[in-house]
Chains A and B, each alone.
Chain A
Amino acid sequence: GQNIDQPTEMTATEGAIVQINCTYQTSGFNGLFWYQQHAGEAPTFLSYNVLDGLEEKGRFSSFLSRSKGYSYLLLKELQMKDSASYLCAVRDRLRSNSGYALNFGKGTSLLVTP
């Protein structure tokens, strides 16, 4: 089974840096994903980590430590449009062994203020 924990809400100021943490427990880890979801819209892919370390992609970076069951998403130079829900997800093998599915945390609602 899975247990994926992330903070429910965070607030940060425009132009600042924010770090959203995610901890997980899983039986068959096969990658960690971060998705962004604006209210009423589809989740969109932000980043993917399968090995330990930092992956940087523009203003967004994601870090993974498999031994600690820990990841974070780092958002730099925050903009108002970054206000959204950020979803941490662990890719795990399905019980039927037919493939993989993403198991999601409840998401962190980020509010960027002027």
Chain B
Amino acid sequence: GAGVSQSPSNKVTEKGKDVELRCDPISGHTALYWYRQSLGQGLEFLIYFQGNSAPDKSGLPSDRFSAERTGGSVSTLTIQRTQQEDSAVYLCASSPPGHLSGELFFGEGSRLTVL
């Protein structure tokens, strides 16, 4: 009974470099979300995937951010040309189909530090 798995747990990078963050949702969960949590801020919605449908990208802060989900399972969030303001914890969450409440199950996050 594995939960949502994210890697890396910590990433330190230099300004201007690209980073990739990975999320393995709970098996059978069709909905997948990426959120960002900055110090002193609430969780900020980034992107939503549902099965093999086109994602809702309405929360992505700039075109430097992109995400994909292969085979309706694993997802990768890519940040190009990182900036210091990208430093945050990036949380992935998944949700099963037909779940009445729509509860999200979160991973422990990937902490990104941009120097």
- Interface residues, chain A, CB within 8 Å of chain B? 4, 30-31, 33, 40-45, 48, 50, 87, 89, 91, 94-96, 98-107
Interface pair B31/A99, CB less than 8 Å apart:
yes
Q: Roughly how many angstroms separate A94 CA and B47 CA in the complex, as a whole number?
A: 10
Q: Roughly how many angstroms separate A105 CA and B107 CA in the complex, as a whole number?
A: 19
A-B contact count (CB 8 A): 67
Tell me whether chain B's interface is mostly helix, strand or loop, or mixed. loop
Query: A101 touches which one: B45, B106, B108, B109 (CB < 8 A)?
Result: B45
6 contacts between A and B (CB under 8 A): A43-B43, A43-B106, A44-B106, A87-B42, A101-B45, A104-B43
Q: Roughly how many angstroms separate A79 CA and B38 CA in the complex, as a whole number?
A: 28
Ranked 9 nearest A-B pairs via Cβ: A104-B43, A42-B106, A106-B42, A104-B42, A48-B101, A96-B56, A42-B108, A94-B56, A101-B45
Contact-residue size bin, chain B (C-beta under 8 Å from the other chain): 20 to 34
Nearest neighbor of B108 in chain A, beta-carbon distance? A42
A98-B42 CB under 8 A given contacts A42-B109, A48-B101: no
Nearest neighbor of A4 in chain B, beta-carbon distance? B42
Is B62 in contact with chain A by the CB < 8 A criterion? Answer: no
Is B104 in contact with chain A by the CB < 8 A criterion? Answer: yes
Is B70 in contact with chain A by the CB < 8 A criterion? Answer: no
